[in-house]
Amino acid sequence: MSELIQKKIRQYLVHSFLYYQLDESIIADSHYDQICKEVLKLLKNHTSPSILPYEELVKKTLFEDASGFSIKQYPAEIISSAFHLLYQHNGVESTTFDSFLARFGYTISDTTYA
């Protein structure tokens, strides 16, 4: 259960970043809405005392506005994952990853994490 909710939270944040910060989408709006609903349901049923990664960020945004619209600062790991996913989806054959990031005003140091 914990692994599933962590996966869904990560999906929610990655696709929120792509859509709301980069104006890019690689999944249908209906799929994104489904992810949001699944995360909400999983969070409501989460009874384990363990804290989930990004739990407070997700609860705040999904419970308040039902989307990632209000997220102003994303964790570096999510930004990195989002760019890698978008690059694999759009740009692998046409440009280097550094050039791809530069199109969005980012550099490798902006998206990496310790």
pLDDT of residue 18: 96
CA distance 28 to 34: 10
pLDDT of residue 110: 62
Task: Convert the pLDDT of each residue in 38-55 to its tens digit.
Answer: 998 988 888 777 778 898
Span 22-48, average pLDDT: 90
Region of residue 54 (phi > 0: left; psi between -120 and 50: alpha; otherwise: beta): left
pLDDT of residue 114: 36
CA distance 38 to 58: 12
Tell whether the model's pLDDT for residue 111 goes beyond 60.
no
48 class by beta-carbon count within 10 Å (0-12 exposed, 13-18 middle, 19+ buried):
exposed
Task: Convert the pLDDT of each residue in 40-97 to its tens digit.
Answer: 898 888 877 777 889 888 988 887 777 888 898 999 999 999 999 999 888 667 788 8
Mutual orientation of helices 29-45 and 55-65 as an angle, nearest 10°? 120
CA distance 11 to 17: 10
Q: Where are the domains of the chain?
A: 2-111
